[in-house]
Amino acid sequence: MLNQFSVCKRLPVWGMRGALLCLGLVGWQSAGAQVPSSVSTSVQSVQSAGDYPNKPITMVVPFGPGTLTDVLARLMASKLAEGLGQSVIAENKAGADGNIGANFLLSAKPDGYTLMVGATSIGAINVTLHKNTKYDPHRDFVGITNIATVTNVLVIGPHVPAKNLSELLALLKKQSMTFGSSGAGGSMHLSGEMFKKMAQADMIHVPYKSSPAVVNDVIGGRVDMMFCNLPICLPLIRAGKLNALGVTSAERSALLPEVPSIAEAGLKGYEVEGWFGLYAPIATPAAVVAKLNQVAVKALQDPEMKRQLLSQGAVTVGDSQEHFDAFTRQERAKWAKIIQEAGIELE
């Protein structure tokens, strides 16, 4: 962090007035010097970080009320408010697969008073999937921490004669099958595209407008399978209406421990997890970002917070900025390859 002496080392000092200036005994104007813009910005950043936050913070939620992103964002807002001693107000700005909310963050002042909880689509997918995306997550945003991860689960309807993944893979070698999703380019769709490529299977994507619509058609036999968000399909799996063959995460889910991962069950190397990150505009002062990371990670280590997130099917993470940045870059590269190979492009 800069102090007045480190600033002085970077500035020319002219005689006695300059020396007094550096000792803080005279002001810039009385010293007859103009503050260089870079130094002014640095000093202001340090000052703003010192008393941050001193007013309410807006938490942008780029998806609608009741979505998993919305639930996680509101839990996170509550915990951040406790740790920071200021109100954190969640505001839904939904639409365009999260791009409306992301664009709002793009235009926000980088002072730490506008944050966003962004999903995988914003942090790694949309920049490749949507050719008219205005933001670049690594150029325009700073990732504060990875809040949590969520797995999908491969489910089939009762009409599909397969009891496990090996039997499904054998069926796929003999015939074409369909998989549904809640929309082109979402995690359900891309999970299926990755599975299709790795299994070298003939699978036809059937996009729907909502997750419940897909689930109903899988149960009813109009679509063969889907890669469902675990929290959505878990009650139906437990009720015996859907057959779960594997989770998309590298390891088994604590919510569904009897179901193996797809990699474990026969498709080695397959791994897909959705994730939710805390973001700020790129020029937010480093000291403010560091404070937000510290408070957020501490909140995510709280046992009650872990329990609440797990009840939503989410596993807490809470990592460093550096780790989160490296992770999102890997995710971006992975999904760019899948999207390009599948020939998917949205306006």
Q: What pLDDT, in 10s, does the model give residues 36-47?
A: 443 344 344 444
Residue 261 and residue 164 in one domain: yes
Q: Is 132 exposed, middle or buried (0-12, 13-18, 19+ CB in 10 A)?
A: exposed
Checking if the pLDDT of 30 tops 60, the result is: no
Has residue 50 been placed in a domain?
A: no
Model confidence at 347, pLDDT cuts 50, 70, 90, reads low
Q: How high is the pLDDT of residue 47? A: 43
Across the range 65-74, mean pLDDT stands at: 92
Q: How many domains does the chain have?
A: 3
Q: How high is the pLDDT of residue 112? A: 97
Residue 89 and residue 178 in one domain: no
List the structure tokens of 220: 């009813």
Q: How high is the pLDDT of residue 344? A: 86
Across the range 187-206, mean pLDDT stands at: 94
Can you give the residue range of the structural domain that contains 197?
151-265
The answer to whether 199 and 172 are in contact (CB under 8 A) is yes
The answer to whether 66 and 231 are in contact (CB under 8 A) is no
Radius of gyration, CA atoms only, the chain = 24
Sign of CA dihedral 138, 322, 304, 49: negative
Across the range 91-97, mean pLDDT stands at: 92
Has residue 141 been placed in a domain?
A: yes
Q: How high is the pLDDT of residue 49? A: 60
Residue 79 and residue 144 in one domain: yes
The pLDDT tens digits for 133-171 are 999 999 999 999 999 999 999 999 999 999 999 999 999
φ/ψ of 14, rounded to 5, equals: -105, 100
Has residue 219 been placed in a domain?
A: yes
Residue 67 and residue 126 in one domain: yes
Has residue 107 been placed in a domain?
A: yes
Q: Among 127, 132, 128, 135, which residue's Cα sits nearest to residue 60?
A: 135
**CATH code assigned at 110:** 3.40.190.150
Has residue 250 been placed in a domain?
A: yes
In this prediction the pTM is: 0.80
